[in-house]
Amino acid sequence: MSDTGQQTTDATARVTVVIVDDHDVIRVGVRESLEKDIEVVGEARDVESAIDAVLDAKPQVVILDVHLPGGTGGGALDVLAEILTGPGSPRVLALSVSDSAEDVVATVRAGARGYVTKSISGPDLSDAVRRVASGDAVFSPRLAGFVLDAFGAAGGEVAAKDEDLDKLTAREQEVMRLIARGYTYREVGAKLFISIKTVETHVGKVLHKLQLSNRNELAHWAAQRRIV
Amino acid sequence: MGVAFLAIAGVLIANRFGVDGLEPWIIPSIVFALGLALVWSPLDRVTLDDARRPKLSGLFERDAWARFLLGLAMSIGVLWWFAMWDFTEDPVQRAVAVPLVVLGAVVLILAPWWLRLIRQVGVERQERVREFERAEIAAHLHDSVLQTLTLIRAKANDADAVTRLARAQERDLRAYLYQDRRTEEESVVTALALAVNAVEDAQGIVVDVVSVGDAPTDERLWAAVKAAREATSNAARHGIGPVSVYAELTAHTYQIFVRDSGPGFNPAEVPSDRLGIKQSIIGRVERQGGAASVQSAPGERTEVSISVPREVQQ
């Protein structure tokens, strides 16, 4: 399953992860599909044990299911509130079975740096973990589509300045569109004649906007999930 | 409670020995207040447990009845005294004031009971609705998920069939759980999703559909959806999965991109008698004033771009 591990292991060091999911089958599946350079240092099945496991094992990345039992009922949000305490906190990759990105936007706004669905393939998941570990954002096609929708890109809204948190710049929209079409970051770069690093920068900015924007659509979804 | 009884005793004693200098209405007022407290007191116990789910059955245990009746008797006694009281010489004033005060007092005595009754009815209705929903869900799960699981068990040796069944069931369940169900005519997002699902079922592949923007499906959008269906079907037959479908609807155009994961081909080398791309994809959208193109090369991914203009409806 993870025969490609050797090829994809480059100069980067091993990545440590904690897997949080209330279904045993999913946890086992995720652990086995991760490639060899990613080391699972802990597992948890509810909010309390997740907080303990993360504070205990201090992983670089937490793979976090959006829906979790325990805590105050907020699922992943409860965990994020406890483990994202400042510099040195682990980075979080949200894992969801749900098709609706609305379900995940609250998690992203609470600090997760990416979102993948549980149907993701092993190599893709490993890539996503490495990407998150190195500080980049991970956008699945669905999340990219959701971002375009939520930021009114289809309605022709374009940010005039980079600092406008409520709209995407023309370049960011192009990048999001290609990701929604199923392009990898490398393919996006090739198509737009920019480097992967630049693609990552654009995606990072979009993540930043997704987390901080006060656009009505986003605020609405956040309110539904009881976060501000 | 003890305090209340002490107070009553105090009032009775004060009454017996007579207290000078007091307005005549003070003692009846105190008695009435105590009566109210006694009438309301059984309700305390109910709200203590859980304010949202009162237990009316537990209301009249032990001395609750006694307190209620005693309070009622005290209140009625005070009202009786009030009706007899000559606080004014004017009979008209009395005729107006007495019924008003008595009515107010009765409302005061009954108000909490009345509110509780309303709340209880609300809680019961909520429970009935919840029960009904649960039965609905159970029925749905039985008709869909359980049936599919039985089928899967029966076909355990046929991996393709199992994959297809599982995928179809997953989609059905997702639609049930997450989506408001709109028809193909109302929503081009639904139309595209259903078209792609049909291909998934027929070819046994996985297709990710992402849609941005939505509108009722008019003739042009239908043409684009059908072309996308054909393109997805081609991708499933000639390419490898997963296949991505991305659709974006703006005020002016509707664009769909269908992209497989390889292995690609040279579009120039497709024999001219193969009509799939030419007729079903390009021809179909060109008749609607749109355009479609295929980008591919051997060893690369193939992407079909479909675009139709929109009639702007105001």
Answer whether A224 touches B (CB < 8 Å): no
The region of weakest confidence among A154-158, A176-180, A221-225, B195-199 is: A221-225
Does A156 sit within 8 Å of B210, measured CB to CB?
Answer: no
Does B212 sit within 8 Å of A154, measured CB to CB?
Answer: yes
Q: Look at residue B56 in the predicted model and tell me its pLDDT.
A: 56
Neighbours of B50 (CB within 10 A): 9
Q: How confident is residue A2, by pLDDT bands cut at 50, 70 and 90?
A: very low
Sheet holding A38-44, edge to edge: A38-44, A15-20, A61-65, A91-96, A114-117, A138-139
The minimum CA-CA distance between B269 and chain A, rounded to whole Å, is 24
Answer whether B208 touches A (CB < 8 Å): yes
Note the pLDDT tens digit of each residue in B186-199.
888 889 988 888 88
With beta carbons under 8 A apart, name residues in chain B contacting A149. Answer: 212-213
Secondary structure (H, E, C), B186-223: CCHHHHHHHHHHHHHHHHCCCEEEEEECCCCCCHHHHH
Q: Look at residue A220 in the predicted model and tell me its pLDDT.
A: 66
**pLDDT at residue B93 greater than cutoff 70:** yes
Note the pLDDT tens digit of each residue in B207-250.
888 888 888 888 889 899 999 998 888 888 888 777 889 999 88
Neighbours of B132 (CB within 10 A): 10
Using CA atoms of B172, B178, B180, B186 in order, give the dihedral in degrees to the nearest 10. Answer: -60
The minimum CA-CA distance between B139 and chain A, rounded to whole Å, is 22
Distances (CA, A) of B87 to A43, A205, B91, B119, B245: 80, 81, 10, 40, 87
Residue B309, preceding bond cis, omega within 30 degrees? no
Q: Look at residue B279 in the predicted model and tell me its pLDDT.
A: 78
Q: Are strands A114-117 and A91-96 parallel, antiparallel or unpaired?
A: parallel
Determine the Cα–Cα distance for residues B116 and B112; give it in Å rounded to an integer.
Answer: 6
- Nearest CA to A83 out of A102, A108, A111, A105 is that of A111
Q: How confident is residue A74, by pLDDT bands cut at 50, 70 and 90?
A: confident
Determine the Cα–Cα distance for residues A175 and A221; give it in Å rounded to an integer.
Answer: 24
Sheet holding B207-212, edge to edge: B207-212, B243-249, B253-259, B303-309, B291-295
Does A144 sit within 8 Å of B249, measured CB to CB?
Answer: no
Answer whether A168 touches B (CB < 8 Å): no
